[in-house]
Amino acid sequence: MSELVVKNVTKRFGGLTAVNDVSFTVRGGEILGLIGPNGAGKTTLFSCLTGFHRPDGGSVEFEGRDIAGWSPNNICSIGIARTFQVVQILQGMTVLENVQVGAFLRHPGAAAARDKAIKVLDKVGMSKRASVKAVNLTLPEKKRLEVAMCLATDPKVLMLDESMAGLTPTEIQEATGMLRQLRKDGLALIVVEHVMEAIMPISDRIMVLDSGAKIAEGTPGEIAKDERVISAYLGDKYVKRCKV
Ligand SMILES: Nc1ncnc2c1ncn2[C@@H]1O[C@H](COP(=O)(O)OP(=O)(O)OP(=O)(O)O)[C@@H](O)[C@H]1O
Ligand SMILES: [Mg+2]
């Protein structure tokens, strides 16, 4: 099983330390939830792990190599994919064509890439939307399309940045069902989400960031009881509302 080992990663923007000495490990067949208040450094951490930012310190080890500072293309090629908090899809192309772009990474021929894209759309439940222009999708559909684009690259590690934002409770059930299936397939998932009802039940472990630093890591049950996490992020209301 693949393992991503992050050690002491730090990222500064001028005088602001957006990610401060963060270490963790995630393995294939596991969902790691990543939570924390706005500005905690979650998206910046994703960008450090996927080549969009070069960390100022620390290492990112995957399959025996330190990939910190590699380009996004090379990181995607070795099997690490991420979605974006603000969706990055090709608005003028159809759903199928968008997914085909991802599939080209491992299927250079157009027909093979198309076949792969069709399979992936089936997996994420978007087959019926294949010929729709991406610009005409709803925001939750755009987010799902971005997940499909990632899956078309056959990742071993998949990082999702608020992919379930804006979903109805029924749609959250569908989305979490898909994530559970991906975990069963052996992927390692890191899931950033503010919707606690979505992330708490599916995560094997939760890591909490606050002001760039990791303040807690544990099972959802442990995290829900953690005084520091309650005061930094969850709040008393959550604890009363949701018994994990
Ligand atoms: N490119 C950048 N240049 C300067 N500062 C940045 C940059 N990107 C992020 N920041 C700052 O780094 C900090 C962490 O931001 P980040 O977007 O990683 O937080 P987040 O945990 O993803 O928050 P949210 O839950 O709102 O998405 C914030 O203070 C943000 O303003
Ligand atoms: Mg973010």
Ligand 1 mutation pick, 9, 16, 47, max ligand atoms within 8 A of CB: 16
How far, in Å, is the centroid of ligand 1 from the Cα of 87? 16
How far, in Å, is the centroid of ligand 1 from the Cα of 58? 19
pLDDT at 141: 93
**In this structure, which residue's CA is closest to atom 28 in ligand 1?**
39
| Digit-coded pLDDT (tens) for 91-118 | 999 999 999 999 999 999 999 999 999 9
Share of the chain above pLDDT 70, in %: 96
pLDDT at 176: 94
> Average pLDDT of the chain?
94
**In this structure, which residue's CA is closest to atom 18 in ligand 1?**
41
How far, in Å, is the centroid of ligand 1 from the Cα of 233? 16
- CA torsion angle for 46, 23, 172, 160 (degrees, to 10)? 20
| DSSP bridge partners of 159 | 82, 190
Which CATH code of 3.90.950.20, 3.20.20.210, 3.40.50.300, 1.10.640.10 fits the domain covering 3-79+155-241? 3.40.50.300
Question: Cβ distance 116 to 105 under 8 Å?
Answer: no
| Digit-coded pLDDT (tens) for 142-194 | 999 999 999 999 999 999 999 998 889 998 998 999 999 999 999 999 999 99
Give the total residue count for the chain. Answer: 244
Burial tier of 47 (Cβ tally within 10 Å: 0-12, 13-18, 19+): buried
Ligand 1 mutation pick, 12, 42, 48, 207, max ligand atoms within 8 A of CB: 42
pLDDT at 95: 98
Confidence of residue 232 (pLDDT cuts 50, 70, 90): confident
pLDDT at 33: 97
How far, in Å, is the centroid of ligand 2 from the Cα of 172? 19
pLDDT at 166: 85
Strand, helix or coil for residue 189: strand
**How is the chain split into domains, by residue range?**
3-79+155-241, 89-154
Confidence of residue 65 (pLDDT cuts 50, 70, 90): very high
